[in-house]
Structure 1
Amino acid sequence: MDNIVLIGMPGSGKSTVGVLLAKMLGYDFLDSDLLIQAAAGKRLFEILQEDGNEAFATLENRVNAGIDVHHTVIATGGSVIYGAEAMEHLSKISRVVYLQVSLPEMLRRIKNPETRGILLPGGMTLADLYRERKPLYERYAQITVPCSRGSLVQVAGKIMKALEK
């Protein structure tokens, strides 16, 4: 296994669990949201506010499709699954792990969707977004790890155990 890509809803723990998992495996860690911000020269919510959802999605797809790393845990943004090029590329260079969080737990963890850089198309709620994305995460996942309960260490341990299979 060369890389591990973490996908899932905002608040599922991709970045926090990803850092811990990378330390446990002796891997590097990459947060693709930071690459997107660097490419745009502004924060995620600024991209969304100033350039719109479509421009953000295009940039996110391009940035993720261009990731070229080895022995790295990659935490992606929750909307990465909309980018076919990105997901095809990430699936080729990594094991794709879906951090599955329940809707009530996600709503508890997310306080302000806008500042988290969450793509909420007009009139959509976080619950609507959850229902829309869940089948896409399931489609791309090679491994699914429930993470609504348990500590970061426990979730990272579940991922490591699943990767051994």
Structure 2
Amino acid sequence: MHGPFELDKHSSLTWKQLFREQTRRYPGLSDAAGVYIIATTNRTKDSICYIGMTHWQGFEAEAFSQRNVELVWDVISEMRNRAIKIWLIAKRTPARKGFSWDSRIERQSFLLETLLIMHAKAAGHRLINTSKMKSAEGIAVEGLFGKRKRGRQSAGSTSLASALGLLRS
């Protein structure tokens, strides 16, 4: 997991230039493939607005492509008083000198992207890229993810959340 990388909306640099400045200490990160999450933040709360996946083209090329600039960055830039955060989940090579990519990692990334989209939608985040997961609208499992009812959780949901590692101790 890499990030969050914060991009200042009021900088004179482009989003791509700001990202490059922040990722200099991570060689190869711009070319890494995996799942990325883009959120806006008002310093107290993050609001996830886009979850995407890169393939062979690498993170920087995908996240800052013309399509994404029009779809994501233009919408985000209209939001007032909010900074932008980006996270990247990418698998390192065994020697930890770069990032790996193969068909197995591609399948895993697709599943992870789908899971994160479903979880974000269930938690009430308004994602820009919703066409992929319309069926995730309103999915919630009480005590695990999604909107939570007031009061105490059931013993079953608490034990399952614990078994899945979703509870923090």
Q: Output the TM-score relative to the length of structure 2.
A: 0.27
Larger radius of gyration: 2
Give the alignment's TM-score, normalised by structure 1. 0.28
Query: RCO greater where, 1 or 2, for CA within 8 Å and sep 6 or more?
Result: 1
Q: Specify which structure has the higher proportion of helix.
A: 1
